[in-house]
Structure 1
Amino acid sequence: MAEHLKRRIGFGLLTAYGVGVMVGAGIYVLVGAVAAEAGIWAPLSFLLAGLIAAPTALSYSEFSARIPEAAGEAAYIRQGLQSRLLAVVVGLAIVAAGTISAAAVLRGGTGYLMLVVDLEANWTMVALGLGLAAVAVFGVMESLSLAAIFTVVELCGLGLVIWAGWDAPASGDWGAAPPIVFSGVAAAAVLAFFAFIGFEDIVNMAEEVAQPERTMPRAILAALVLTTVIYALVSVAAVRAVPLEALGASERPLALVWQAAQGGDAKFLSTIAVFAALNGVLAQIVMASRVLFGLGKREKVFALFHHVWPRTGTPVLATCLVGSLVVLGAIALDVGLLAEMTSSILLAVFVLVNLALIFEKRREPEAPFRVPMFVPVIGLCLSAGALLFNIQGAL
């Protein structure tokens, strides 16, 4: 077996991967929750959430140029904070967060699929989970190409929702917009921030990217900007077409947008949500297996995962392990509770990555891609604030 991944990914495919990870099934329910907090100003909350995510995304961009390794956050924290133990803990936390997230999305996607086709839930999760793991084993280009197709389907669905929102008669709330309540917009922005989690997955593809020092920062920032614009447009369509009370109370808010313009049951949105879920599961399997591969390079205890099958150019053992855990988690665990932990884990990692970059920039100012020192400082403060807000909300 080889020990090096193949550099086959370019800017376009990497950006599509990042957009696909962020624009997942969550947007199909999150718009209503944000509108319940911010009212007609929900689009402003999504734009503000994108700005909150931007400093940390920029910190990841600089680190991805400094250390283009598959271990991602673990490598950054080991380099910046000079702590081997903390790096291993963070690497395993990223693997756990990706696995938990994929298990939760696999269960949710199966639920959407069962609204369209009458299937047995557990066997469906096994078939979908193992099928996606097999794609991830088959090759990274094949995985990301399939993910790009899923992303196109997702974006087409959201494009239809945006069109329907502008085609529908304007709701009474849209015509009588109240003054901005900044506390509500800010609270909704923290909630909307979680829809942007996923840009960090891009860095774990670094060892398979051509010219990573140049490509990685551009792809991270492009994915964040595109996702912010998409979220803002979708939320504008939603608050324009649907009364806020109905929008905030619905578990399928985007279906209400379609029904306001076209009527019907909007069952096709359930089908699109399945594609969104499959995209999320595949992306997380690919990401988590690369983190295990990267940990194997630095830590002997994980060395068995630092091998690439020559025929496929993928870390087969790591991918099979992650895929199996995703299926087992979806079937056996209370993934609803575990999924709530995912955001806290990732926000804690964001805090550490920003802190690590502050120390690294003080030691070594030069880098292929650099951001000003105030960027990781702001990212640290914003991530810590969002983490405290998330913990407070869970208590």
Structure 2
Amino acid sequence: MEKIVTAKVPVELKRKLTLPLLTLYGLGVTIGAGIYVLVGTTAARAGIYAPISFLIAAGVVSFTGFAYAELSTRHPVSAGEAAYVRAGFNSSTLTLVVGLLVAASGIVSSAAVSIGAAAYIGEIVPVPPTVIAVAVILIVGVMAAWGILESVMIAAIFTLIEMGGLILVIYYGVSADPEILSRTAELLPPFEISTWGGIISASLLAFFAFVGFEDMANVAEEVVEPHKTLPRGIFLTLLIASILYFLVVSVVVLVVPMADLAGSAAPLALVFEKSGDTTGGIFRTIAIVATTNGVLIQIIMASRVLYGLAMQKNLPSFLASVSPVTRTPLVATGVVVALVLVFATLLPIARLAEATSTIVLIVFCFVNLALIRLKRTSPSPSTSVFVVPIWVPVLGLLFSIALLLTGFLPV
């Protein structure tokens, strides 16, 4: 009797993310990763002009955001940036390098935000920050391994809460000190080299607050109708985040004394110092949710990048294994969590944030170059692809290089 051999069908990721969930995913990683943590360190460089630093960072990000919108519809796969570079340069080595840089950005960013989460939690629970950070990372790692729909639903709920926290900062700051509305002219910097040097240098840190929108490209295989959903999700994320950032940072620098704000790991809580225990406690709870959410989504992103690189044969195949129970890449998730633990316990938040910004800007340069090459050498894409003019990735490349160079400016 002939033995029948049944081929084992590999377990695939599930398409569960609609436009609202994808946008909340992008907002969750963007907002939670930066604004709750880095306003203080940005203000330490730019002073009261920190909102301008955030506007500069938003401008840099927007051009690359449009480039991602086209590339994510040309190649809607996990480890998107690596796929874009492979298509643009046809280089396995460069593809692997870019993919690893993207994963590294998620890992280092998660470490930075976990320190911010520990700072907010430490104001309530008298436990050493390192112990808190480790606990946050481990708990979030379990959430990330649970399942994409479940983990992103949790992230979506957290995102709505953290956006409510930012609106609370704006509302309380203005209501507690209505005179700040008449002081908005103070946010306009003079045309002095020393002043603008600090503003531009701070833009590299402010850029960290926008890190996140590109992560949507790395869950492309789990997005419903990616050709329509991905561009819309990217645009909505950048628009909403930019508006919220400018308003929040403006309120904070006008309300909080600069000596208290500069360098604080929990800067937004300073707005509520005179509010009493109830309001301050509510905000600290929201801030904990927001920063924890940032760690969660970055871990999800980094694990999908490792999974995608393994699927593209650039990393060992065991990283591409998907659990038939959770339908998530458990091995890749475990590797990411372990690395986040290492970085969170070894480096301070400012160095982690600046390292993340630098890594992401390098990736942006490669992504914009890849799109420029594709537009010059490839036939026009199908009508299902979102197309931008070639000057968009050119400006995205130039602005990314310019912001990278700000890292060499004296602080």
Cα deviation 1:52-104 (Å, max 9, x = unaligned): 21000111111100001101111111111221101101111221221122123
TM-score (norm 1): 0.89
Q: How many residues align?
A: 392
Q: Distance in 1 between matches of 2:56 and 2:31?
A: 17
1:334 to 347, 356, 377: 347
Counterpart in the other structure of 1:388: 405
The correspondence of residues 129-148 of structure 1 with structure 2, limited to 5 A, is 129-148=137-156
User: 1:210 offset after TM fit, Å?
Assistant: 0.8
Counterpart in the other structure of 1:174: 183
2:158 to 150, 161, 169: 150
2:207 to 179, 184, 193: 193
Counterpart in the other structure of 1:50: 58
- In terms of mean alpha carbon deviation, does 300-309 or 368-377 score higher? 300-309
Counterpart in the other structure of 2:396: 379
The 8 Å contact of residues 166 and 240 in structure 1, kept in 2 or not, is answered as no
Decide whether aligned partners of structure 1 residues 313 and 30 sit closer, same or farther in structure 2, where only a CA change above 3 A counts: same
Structure 1 counterpart of 2:186, which letter?
A
- In terms of mean alpha carbon deviation, does 23-32 or 137-146 score higher? 23-32
1:97 to 105, 128, 142: 105
Counterpart in the other structure of 1:234: 248
1:308 to 307, 322, 325: 322
User: 1:130 offset after TM fit, Å?
Assistant: 2.3
Counterpart in the other structure of 1:115: 123
The correspondence of residues 183-262 of structure 1 with structure 2, limited to 5 A, is 184=195, 187=200, 188-242=202-256, 247-248=261-262, 252-259=266-273, 262=275
Q: Distance in 2 between matches of 1:34 and 1:329?
A: 21
- In terms of mean alpha carbon deviation, does 275-284 or 127-136 score higher? 127-136
The 8 Å contact of residues 344 and 391 in structure 1, kept in 2 or not, is answered as no
The 8 Å contact of residues 100 and 335 in structure 1, kept in 2 or not, is answered as no
The 8 Å contact of residues 17 and 147 in structure 1, kept in 2 or not, is answered as yes
Q: Distance in 1 between matches of 2:206 and 2:273?
A: 24
TM-score (norm 2): 0.86
Decide whether aligned partners of structure 1 residues 288 and 233 sit closer, same or farther in structure 2, where only a CA change above 3 A counts: same
Cα deviation 1:364-392 (Å, max 9, x = unaligned): 23251111100000000000011111244
Structure 2 counterpart of 1:181, which letter?
P
Cα deviation 1:212-236 (Å, max 9, x = unaligned): 1111111011100010011122123
3-state secondary structure, aligned to 2:316: helix
Give ranges in structure 1 of 5+ residues lacking alignment: none
Counterpart in the other structure of 2:85: 77
Decide whether aligned partners of structure 1 residues 175 and 227 sit closer, same or farther in structure 2, where only a CA change above 3 A counts: closer
Cα deviation 1:219-275 (Å, max 9, x = unaligned): 011100010011122123224434556555755443333346x35693543333221
Q: Distance in 2 between matches of 1:275 and 1:151?
A: 8
2:372 to 324, 337, 358: 358
3-state secondary structure, aligned to 1:340: helix
Q: Distance in 2 between matches of 1:223 and 1:275?
A: 19
Counterpart in the other structure of 2:287: 273
Q: Distance in 1 between matches of 2:145 and 2:173?
A: 40
Decide whether aligned partners of structure 1 residues 236 and 138 sit closer, same or farther in structure 2, where only a CA change above 3 A counts: same
Decide whether aligned partners of structure 1 residues 108 and 369 sit closer, same or farther in structure 2, where only a CA change above 3 A counts: same
Decide whether aligned partners of structure 1 residues 107 and 5 sit closer, same or farther in structure 2, where only a CA change above 3 A counts: same
Q: Distance in 2 between matches of 1:250 and 1:44?
A: 19
Q: CA RMSD in A?
A: 2.7
The 8 Å contact of residues 103 and 335 in structure 1, kept in 2 or not, is answered as no
Give ranges in structure 2 of 5+ residues lacking alignment: 1-8
Q: Distance in 1 between matches of 2:180 and 2:258?
A: 9
Structure 1 counterpart of 2:31, which letter?
V
Q: Distance in 2 between matches of 1:43 and 1:274?
A: 23
The 8 Å contact of residues 2 and 309 in structure 1, kept in 2 or not, is answered as no
Decide whether aligned partners of structure 1 residues 235 and 301 sit closer, same or farther in structure 2, where only a CA change above 3 A counts: closer
User: 1:157 offset after TM fit, Å?
Assistant: 1.4
3-state secondary structure, aligned to 1:4: coil
The 8 Å contact of residues 2 and 310 in structure 1, kept in 2 or not, is answered as no
Q: Distance in 2 between matches of 1:46 and 1:122?
A: 29
User: 1:32 offset after TM fit, Å?
Assistant: 4.2
The correspondence of residues 4-43 of structure 1 with structure 2, limited to 5 A, is 4-24=12-32, 26-35=34-43, 42-43=50-51
Cα deviation 1:281-334 (Å, max 9, x = unaligned): 111110011111111111264222222222222111111221222234333x23
- In terms of mean alpha carbon deviation, does 292-301 or 265-274 score higher? 265-274
